[in-house]
């Protein structure tokens, strides 16, 4: 089922919730109950990474079976993947980095996208191409909140979803920054809960993540 948010701009993806769960699906059968738990907990934007053989099937299952979900595809690194993900029902695309070829494919896809950056030059290059919403990755390793804070002055038009090494302890500090719309993370998806099909625990952790607010 197509989400009414399927055509929203990338900035709106950043605004759906304070946290975007970064999901690795190992079994297609887990996709719908997992996504249902995340949505019930208040996290509608779900990034399914292309790290497993069943990722596209998982995206398709969520798009078709969880109306409240805005499912996206992560770890997108080739134009072919862009095409496959959109065909599977992805409503947004996320890449760990970008090239001109990949960026052109994402821009032509018709869905919102968040290209990954970790340097000021990459941010400036994307701004030059008309892209203002980006993934900052790997966030903690690439300089964390201090780095993003330093970008807010000279490049206030750039807006980020930091991902990589962020948990509930650091998330509020990121969310307090003026150039951060949301953060990406996996802490609401503990491996033991997924293995046990403990969707109630996933929903509870998602609810806690959805309630995160900046420190201040």
Active site residues: 47, 135
For residue 75, cis peptide bond before it (omega within 30 degrees of 0): no
Q: Say if CB 104 and CB 95 are below 8 A apart.
A: no
Q: What are the residue ranges of helices labelled H in the chain?
A: 10-15, 28-40, 55-65, 79-88, 100-108, 120-128, 144-152, 171-175, 191-195, 199-210
* C-alpha to C-alpha distance for 145 and 171, rounded to whole angstroms: 10
Cα 113 to its chain centre, rounded Å, is: 9
Which residue, 86, 18, 88, is CA-closest to 59?
88
Report the helix count and the strand count for the chain, using DSSP H and E.
10, 9
Of 100, 94, 138, 93, the closest CA to residue 119 belongs to 138
Cα gap 158→154, rounded to integer Å: 10
Contact criterion met (CB below 8 Å) for 145 and 177: yes
């Amino acid at each position: 089922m197509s989400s009414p948010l399927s055509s929203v701009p990338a900035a709106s993806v950043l605004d759906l919730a304070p946290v975007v769960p970064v999901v690795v699906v190992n079994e297609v059968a887990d996709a719908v109950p997992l996504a249902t738990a995340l949505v019930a907990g208040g996290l509608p934007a779900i990034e399914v990474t292309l790290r497993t053989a069943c990722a596209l099937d998982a995206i398709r299952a969520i798009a078709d079976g969880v109306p409240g979900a805005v499912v996206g595809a992560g770890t997108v690194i080739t134009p072919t993947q862009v095409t496959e993900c959109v065909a599977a029902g992805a409503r947004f695309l996320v890449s760990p980095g970008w090239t001109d070829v990949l960026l052109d494919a994402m821009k032509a896809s018709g869905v919102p996208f968040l290209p990954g950056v970790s340097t000021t030059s990459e941010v400036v290059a994307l701004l030059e191409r008309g892209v203002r919403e980006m993934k900052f990755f790997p966030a903690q390793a690439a300089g964390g909140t201090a780095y993003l804070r330093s970008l807010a002055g000279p490049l206030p038009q750039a807006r980020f979803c930091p991902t990589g090494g962020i948990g509930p302890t650091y998330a509020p500090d990121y969310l307090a920054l003026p150039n951060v719309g949301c953060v990406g993370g996996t802490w609401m998806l503990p491996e033991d809960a997924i293995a046990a099909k403990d969707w109630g625990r996933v929903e509870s952790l998602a609810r806690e993540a959805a309630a995160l607010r900046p420190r201040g």
